[in-house]
């Protein structure tokens, strides 16, 4: 990882960034606000231009006006008018259909003109913020138009948004399609979880502290719980969500990133491929589910109506663009095992869902209980385990729980916590989570992007689950109330191993 670049504040390489689907939500909510934050941090090259490309009826002028309005709503902090003025004059719009070969010729010509004007040195950065059905088509068209070849030191890079395929076969097919045109090093498969500060901190935490690494294995760790709980429902995304479901939407991408960063071996360097090799090994070591195990080691759920944040909310089946008979899952819990020397027999429990009781994304490492000998008179159940929690959202930080003597004449154990909260130490730096990812792509650092083999390894674990679920439609949906902690089967999944989910409502917030 070229970490020192960012520390030194080296600006990004000169380039034209072309956003496909520029009129969509991602551009206004994340990309433009993130670029503004980078500009405010002097991390953007002066030799930069942004070109929106899509079928919407904008001109450069009207597109600039739209973004100027949008940024007022979506900036993470007020944008300095000088920065916006600088930014606005390098924004352009080219109208065209993604499958129209002529449109790419027009785009190509425009990119040369715009590139010359802003002295972008011929570098091109394509961001595919489009529906997945266009990924292959756009890459094919770019290739056919001669817009992906790297010559004379000029680079061409493509960021591809999620979802990257909808099962193993489609992910392989998509990889095969885009690799007909692009080299792996030109492809940046984005996972916005890797833009999160605490997720990036996982590697720093594990590998820059000598006290944690020696205990980071099956001898000391009893199990790991990874939670990504949301209080929101599917909002306006019912159409997409009906085709995806919680498993596809969250697990092979976001949650598997958390698994691999938690479980990976130390890389030999922070070069992109050293880090990704170690992550990929973890993903390859995930034990595949047999059909019987899908039944006993996975749980799916769908929310019924209920109460969230004091408001009555509808069932999933009553959400816009959702079928009233939908069998799409909005909750999933899994028990995973990693077949390697470090993690043999240590369960990794994953859960994620919509309309749960609280918003919380975290990784909890539960250590073995202490041997009881000294505490013979203490009920076993009251002896708490050591627990290390990496809080990713909404708070960012790390907490460590351990036992301490309750003051008084009797020998009694209490549980206490040491908390590190990012904001307390480093202040708050509002960001969209895309800053680092955009910057890294513009300097050619692919560490935080998924490689083809990682994506396929993730799908290889998930696809058998999808197949069994499809063959056996759920009989009890909806099976959890909005505002609850999910179906009771998810509690049973852990109870069978003598464990219980962390009580996040009680334990998550430390302030």
Tell the smallest beta-carbon distance from residue 230 to ligand BG6 (Å): 6
φ, ψ of residue 115 to 5 degrees: the values are: -60, -45
CB atoms within 10 A of CB 420: 14
What tokens does 151 get?
């010559």
Query: What mask of x and - would describe binding to ligand BG6 in positions 390 to 429, judged by CB under 6 A?
Result: ---x------------------------------------
Tell the smallest beta-carbon distance from residue 120 to ligand BG6 (Å): 30
Enclosing H/E stretch for 300: strand 298-301
Tell the smallest beta-carbon distance from residue 211 to ligand BG6 (Å): 29
The whole-angstrom separation of Cα 223 and Cα 497 is: 10
230 binds ligand BG6 (CB under 6 A): yes
445 binds ligand BG6 (CB under 6 A): no
Q: In terms of DSSP bridges, do strands 387-393 and 124-128 run parallel, antiparallel, or are they unpaired? A: unpaired
**Residue list 357-376, contact with ligand BG6 (CB under 6 A):** 361
326 binds ligand BG6 (CB under 6 A): no
The whole-angstrom separation of Cα 25 and Cα 28 is: 6
Out of 254, 391, 499, 508, the active site residue is 254
What tokens does 284 get?
């390859």
Active site residue 499: no
**Is the CB of 163 or the CB of 464 nearer to ligand BG6?**
163
Q: Which residue is nearest to ligand BG6 (CB)?
A: 249
26 binds ligand BG6 (CB under 6 A): no
Helix extents (H) in 264-313: 272-285, 291-297
DSSP character for 381? G
Tell the smallest beta-carbon distance from residue 337 to ligand BG6 (Å): 25
352 binds ligand BG6 (CB under 6 A): no
Tell the smallest beta-carbon distance from residue 228 to ligand BG6 (Å): 6
DSSP string covering 480-504: EETTBS--HHHHHHHHTTT-----H
Tell the smallest beta-carbon distance from residue 359 to ligand BG6 (Å): 8
Radius of gyration of the chain (CA): 24
Q: In residues, how long is the chain?
A: 511
The whole-angstrom separation of Cα 127 and Cα 53 is: 10
**Is the CB of 141 or the CB of 432 nearer to ligand BG6?**
432
330 binds ligand BG6 (CB under 6 A): no
DSSP character for 508? S
249 binds ligand BG6 (CB under 6 A): yes
**Is the CB of 249 or the CB of 395 nearer to ligand BG6?**
249
Residues 314, 278 contacting (CB under 8 angstroms)? no
Binding site for ligand BG6 (CB under 6 A): 162, 230, 249, 361, 393
Active site residues: 254
């Amino acid at each position: 990882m070229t970490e020192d670049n960012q520390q030194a504040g080296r600006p990004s390489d000169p380039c034209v960034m072309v956003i496909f689907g520029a009129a969509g939500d991602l551009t206004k909510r994340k990309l433009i606000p993130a670029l503004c934050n980078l500009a405010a941090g002097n991390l953007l090259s002066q030799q930069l231009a942004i070109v929106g490309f899509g079928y919407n009826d904008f001109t450069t002028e009207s597109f600039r006006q739209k973004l100027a309005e949008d940024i007022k709503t979506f900036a993470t902090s007020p944008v300095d008018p000088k920065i916006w003025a600088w930014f606005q004059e390098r924004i352009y719009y080219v109208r065209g259909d993604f499958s129209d070969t002529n449109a790419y010729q027009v785009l190509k010509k425009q990119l040369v003109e715009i590139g010359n004007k802003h002295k972008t040195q011929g570098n091109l950065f394509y961001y595919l913020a489009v529906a997945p059905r266009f990924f292959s088509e756009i890459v094919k068209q770019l290739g056919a138009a001669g817009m992906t070849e790297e010559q004379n030191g000029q680079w061409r890079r493509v960021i591809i948004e999620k979802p990257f395929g909808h099962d193993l076969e489609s992910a392989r097919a998509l990889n095969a399609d885009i690799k007909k045109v692009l080299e792996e090093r030109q492809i940046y498969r984005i996972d916005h979880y890797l833009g999160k500060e605490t997720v990036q901190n996982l590697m720093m935490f594990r590998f820059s502290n000598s006290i944690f690494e020696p205990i980071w294995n099956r001898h000391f760790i009893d199990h790991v719980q990874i939670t990504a709980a949301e209080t929101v429902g599917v909002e306006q995304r019912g159409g997409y969500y009906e085709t995806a479901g919680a498993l596809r939407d969250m697990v092979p991408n976001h949650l598997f990133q958390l698994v691999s960063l938690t479980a990976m071996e130390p890389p030999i360097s922070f070069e992109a491929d050293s880090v990704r090799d170690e992550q990929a090994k973890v993903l390859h070591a995930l034990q595949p589910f047999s059909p019987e195990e899908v039944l006993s080691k996975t749980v799916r759920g769908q929310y019924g109506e209920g109460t969230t944040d004091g408001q009555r909310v509808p069932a999933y089946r009553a959400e816009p663009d959702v079928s009233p008979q939908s069998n799409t899952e909005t909750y999933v819990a899994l028990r995973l095992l990693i077949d390697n020397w470090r993690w043999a027999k240590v369960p990794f429990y994953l859960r994620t869902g919509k309309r749960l009781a609280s918003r919380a994304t975290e990784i909890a490492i539960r250590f073995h209980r202490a041997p009881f000998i000294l505490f013979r008179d203490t009920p076993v159940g009251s002896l708490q385990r050591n627990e290390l929690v990496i809080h990713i959202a909404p708070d960012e930080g790390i907490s460590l729980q351990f036992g301490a003597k309750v003051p008084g004449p009797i020998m009694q154990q209490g549980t206490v916590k040491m908390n590190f909260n990012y904001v307390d130490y480093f202040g708050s730096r509002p960001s969209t989570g895309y800053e680092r990812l955009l910057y890294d792509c513009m300097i050619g650092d692919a560490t935080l992007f998924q490689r083809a083999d990682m994506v396929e390894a993730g799908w290889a674990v998930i696809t058998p689950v999808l197949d069994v679920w499809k063959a056996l439609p759920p009989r009890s949906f909806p099976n959890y109330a909005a505002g609850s902690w999910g179906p009771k089967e998810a509690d049973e999944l852990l109870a069978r191993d003598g464990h219980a989910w962390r009580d996040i409502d009680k334990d998550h917030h430390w302030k």
